[in-house]
Amino acid sequence: MSMITIYPPNINQYTMIPNIFIDDYLSESNGDFVRVYLLINRYASKNMDSISMVDIADCLHLTETDVLRAIKYWESNNVMIVKYDDSKNITSIKLNDPSNISAEINNTDTEVPNETVATKQIEARINVSTKPQYKMEEISTFMSRQNYKQLIYITQKYLGKMLTQQDINTLIGFNDWLGLPFEVIELLIEYCVSNNHRNMNYIEKVAVNWADEGINTVAKAENRIETFNNNYFKVMKSLGIGDRNPTPKQISYMKKWIDEYDLSMEIIVEACNRTMETIHQPQFSYIDAILKNWHKNNVKTIKNIDELDKQHQLNSKTKKKEDTKNQSKFINYDQRTYNFDELEKKAMELLIKETDGSY
């Protein structure tokens, strides 16, 4: 069994934890990841020059897979510098200097000012690997812990059935793979069941979406649920499909209208109403075309929309008069009349089909 060399930043009878770690990582990181980090710091303070993955796993009552996932997580966040041999086994771990961690955070924030450290940590955790399939002994280890045991019990109560091995594998992954806290997972399960969704595959999709969006606290989860239940439901109801939940793609459209376009629900619902009156289908790409145009014209109120409509009608009448003048030179020929509003509608439908075409 290969041994891992640890290079400590210093030697001390106490285990020194950088303040930057406590301030910027502790509250947002998976608990088992923190335990692995603390233990490696402890070994470093004892001036131990080597330790095996088995030693770490046994000490913390984790699996070797847990330990490896934690080390890769801290490596991706520049907290540890990890070296591997040709067989991809870890050969050494160097605990990064706190000033280097701080500099890395500051450099990254300068490049992407609107992205929070918490969001970047979530993305790193998701991208470490694909969804894991745990072995029976790994599942048994997880189930022996009180927090997982309680989560499984609560989930079975909500779903009204015993969980299969695959269900438990998926449920464990919400915390171990996606990094969602247990209280957030419980809220997620309750939310899905309250909307009559008890299928674990559906619940997993919601969990992945929450992790992608950085919903890793109860406050964020409650805000997400409130937004979903209020704003999203209003949109779906105005389209005559309030009896179903929106798809991830429909949610992405609505998030863009609310967050990126910064439009009120009154404006969004007006676009939905016009879509149903015009094409009689709840086509989100068509709604987006309308709202994109309103956003471009700085529409903020219904009055702004009325003014835009009047200007559009005026432009259409002017264009018709110009076309009539041009056609008068050819009065001996049959003249055609055009409904420009109808032509504009057809043109928009054609554009949507070419670019998207989905609801």
User: What is the spatial distance between Cα 253 and Cα 198, in angstroms, rounded to a whole number?
Assistant: 25
Share of the chain above pLDDT 90, in %: 30
Q: Name the residue among 207, 25, 179, 219 with its Cα closest to residue 116.
A: 25
**CA nearest 200: which of 228, 168, 157?**
168
Task: Quote the pLDDT of residue 155.
Answer: 96
Instruction: Write out pLDDT tens, residues 300-314.
Output: 999 999 999 998 888
Q: Are 158 and 193 in contact (CB under 8 A)?
A: yes
User: Looking at residue 23, what is its pLDDT?
Assistant: 79
- DSSP letter string, 203-232: HHHHHHHHHHTT--SHHHHHHHHHHIIIII
CA quadruple 206, 209, 210, 211: dihedral sign: positive
User: How crowded is residue 10: how many other Cβ atoms within 10 Å of its Cβ?
Assistant: 10
Q: What is the mean pLDDT of each run of 10 residues along the chain (359 residues)?
A: 64 73 77 87 72 83 80 82 82 74 46 36 42 88 92 95 94 90 94 87 87 87 84 89 78 89 93 93 93 93 92 81 62 52 64 56
Nearest Cα residue to 93 out of 176, 2, 19: 2
pLDDT of residue 336: 52
Range 280-284, long-range pairs (CB < 8 A, 24+ positions): 281/359, 282/239, 282/240, 282/241, 282/359, 283/352, 283/359, 284/249, 284/250, 284/253, 284/358, 284/359
Give the DSSP H or E segment for 50: strand 50-51
> In what helix (H) or strand (E) does residue 294 lie, and over which residues does it extend?
helix 284-296
Q: To which H or E segment does residue 146 belong?
A: helix 146-159
| Cα dihedral 204, 171, 215, 62 sign | negative
The pLDDT assigned to 326 comes to: 64
pLDDT digits (tens, 9 = 90+) for 107-156: 444 333 333 333 333 333 444 346 888 889 889 989 999 999 999 999 99
CB 118 within 8 A of CB 217: no
Q: Is the pTM of this model over 0.75?
A: no
Tokens of 158: 């909500």
Answer yes or no: are the C-beta atoms of 141 and 176 closer than 8 Å. no
Residue 132's pLDDT is what?
86
